[in-house]
Amino acid sequence: MTIEFEAPKPVEQARFLLQSVADNMMRPVSREMDENEHAIPFGYIEFMHSAMKAMGSITAGSLTTGEEKIADDPNKPKRASIAYQVLANQLEMLSWGDVGMYLITPGGGLGAAAVQAAGSPEQRKKFLARFNEEKPTFAAMCMTEPQAGSDTSAIRTRAVLDEKTNEWVITGEKIFVTAGEKSFTEHAEFGKGFIVVWASIDPSAGRSGMRSFVIEAGTPGVRINKLENKMGIRVSDTAAISLDGARVPFENVLGSPTVEKNTAGFKGAMATFDATRPLVAATGVGVARAALDEVKKMLAEQGFNIRYGLPRQKLTSNERDVIDMEIMVKSAWLMVLKAVWMADNKQPNVLESSMSKVKSGDIVTRVTQKAVEILGPLGYSREFLLEKWFRDAKITDIYEGTGQINRLVVARQILGYSGAELR
């Protein structure tokens, strides 16, 4: 195995294009979007939809498109896919621009990632094709409930098969659904999206009884109850959704419609997270790098440059802090690269996936906090974006498994314990 630190051409091309998106379409409206929570930047969404169609993949859900494009390129020798690597770079760059806006980039997001991980080839074809159609389209994944976050075995949403009509009837409460509103409400500007809802088809079977269901936008019996008012990523809509006897076609269940004596049902969710955790980690690295770059720029404008190469004891405290921030950002990024490299090479990456998320969640909160600290009042002022990135950072450590939960996953993997033995 050889280790190359030179980015492959598709990665460089994607970064080049998205740097310009970040500079010209994200940063100029970042503050306005933060101050007007739930405002929708239609210009950005439409531009990204066209760009995504041209480039292949931008979000986790459209991964196959990118993979196929790269693998099918007749000019390239047959080699392992680099689709995840490209995607991680895209997400890092977009999040450097504005992580909240990245979260409303059209495409399938977590919803499509769930279809990708747990759906049959027919379901993938049926539900994922819409993201390449004329209008920008969204999808979301609804797992969290008021009593079930980290502990997903506490999910109470129920799906019961009505054998007369051959439909699933789903009832329950879902909270904190990223892009839930854009995915479920039918907007004239957007295509018809969907939400993927996790429910139990047999509560006595515990996790083995969990299945996910694709619910099309506008389905009767589903209601958006509220949009969260949040600390950070305020441009991203986070919805609370109730389901009251929502009827879903039989074929919309992802995975087997019957309960087996193993945890197959929940494996779909875990496969989704193995795929997406390094990508969430990449977004955290992007935010951390944004804060680091800004600190270096603002210090340089005031005549302070980092004197790399001097012994540590000869550096000022600010120089040491900035160098430490750089070490944190680079080491987190290397962990992301390892996790996505393993995914691209079809190697099991549960450990590396969770490790990269833990690391990124840690460093992005520390780096953005340090950035505010170093710049003092300028860091705290709303005139600059440092205070916003400080608020945007924390979510990296909350969704798709909190820092504590991912540490448990890492510990189980290293020590060889099962979920039941170490929780």
Ligand X SMILES: Cc1cc2nc3c(=O)[nH]c(=O)nc-3n(C[C@H](O)[C@H](O)[C@H](O)COP(=O)(O)OP(=O)(O)OC[C@H]3O[C@@H](n4cnc5c(N)ncnc54)[C@H](O)[C@@H]3O)c2cc1C
Q: Is 239 in the site for ligand X (CB under 6 A)?
A: no
Q: Which of 100, 149, 268, 284 binds ligand X (CB under 6 A)?
A: 149
The three-state (H, E, C) secondary structure of the chain, written as one string = CCCCCCCCHHHHHHHHHHHHHHHHHHHHHHHHHHHCCCCCCHHHHHHHHHHHHHHCCCCHHHHHHHHHHHHHCCCCCCCCCCHHHHHHHHHHHHHHHHHHHHHCCCECHHHHHHHHHHCCHHHHHHHHHHHHCCCCCEEEEECCECCECCCHHHCCCEEEEECCCCEEEEEEEEEEEECHHHHHCCCCCCCCCEEEEEEECCHHHHHHHEEEEEEECCCCCEEEEEECCCCCCCCCCEEEEEEEEEEEEHHHEECCCCCCCCCHHHHHHHHHHHHHHHHHHHHHHHHHHHHHHHHHHHHHHCCCCCCCCCCHHHCCHHHHHHHHHHHHHHHHHHHHHHHHHHHHCCCCCHHHHHHHHHHHHHHHHHHHHHHHHHHCHHHHCCCCCHHHHHHHHHHHHCCCCCHHHHHHHHHHHHHCCCCCCCC
Whose Cβ is closer to ligand X: residue 85's or residue 360's? 360
Closest CB 23 distance from ligand X, rounded Å:
26
Closest CB 62 distance from ligand X, rounded Å:
17
Closest CB 422 distance from ligand X, rounded Å:
9
Residues 175-234 that bind ligand X (CB under 6 A): 176-178, 230
Q: Is 101 in the site for ligand X (CB under 6 A)?
A: no
Q: Is 402 in the site for ligand X (CB under 6 A)?
A: yes
Q: Is 241 in the site for ligand X (CB under 6 A)?
A: no
Whose Cβ is closer to ligand X: residue 148's or residue 367's? 148
Closest CB 345 distance from ligand X, rounded Å:
28
Would you tell me how many other CB atoms lie within 10 Å of the CB of residue 81? Answer: 17
Whose Cβ is closer to ligand X: residue 381's or residue 404's? 404
Closest CB 350 distance from ligand X, rounded Å:
17
Q: Is 282 in the site for ligand X (CB under 6 A)?
A: no
Contact 322, 245 (CB under 8 A): no
Closest CB 390 distance from ligand X, rounded Å:
16
Q: By Cβ distance, which residue is nearest to ligand X?
A: 149
Q: For ligand X, which stretch binds (CB under 6 A), given 141-149, 186-194, 330-338, 372-380? A: 141-149
400 catalytic residue (yes or no): yes
Q: Which of 6, 35, 400, 421 is catalytic?
A: 400
Whose Cβ is closer to ligand X: residue 234's or residue 296's? 234
Q: Is 398 in the site for ligand X (CB under 6 A)?
A: yes
Q: Is 405 in the site for ligand X (CB under 6 A)?
A: yes
Q: Is 153 in the site for ligand X (CB under 6 A)?
A: no
What radius of gyration do the chain's Cα atoms show?
22
Tell me how many degrees the CA angle 47-234-57 measures, rounded to the nearest 5: 35
Whose Cβ is closer to ligand X: residue 141's or residue 170's? 141
Closest CB 39 distance from ligand X, rounded Å:
17
- State phi, psi for 386 to the nearest 5 degrees: -60, -45
Q: Is 143 in the site for ligand X (CB under 6 A)?
A: yes
Closest CB 406 distance from ligand X, rounded Å:
9
Whose Cβ is closer to ligand X: residue 102's or residue 333's? 102
Please work out the total of residues on this chain that contact ligand X, with binding judged by CB under 6 A: 21
Whose Cβ is closer to ligand X: residue 36's or residue 150's? 150
Q: Which of 36, 50, 150, 331 binds ligand X (CB under 6 A)?
A: 150
Residues 106-125 that bind ligand X (CB under 6 A): 110
Catalytic annotation, residues: 400
Which residues of this chain interact with ligand X, rule CB under 6 A? 110, 140-144, 149-150, 176-178, 230, 238, 395, 398-399, 402, 404-405, 408, 423
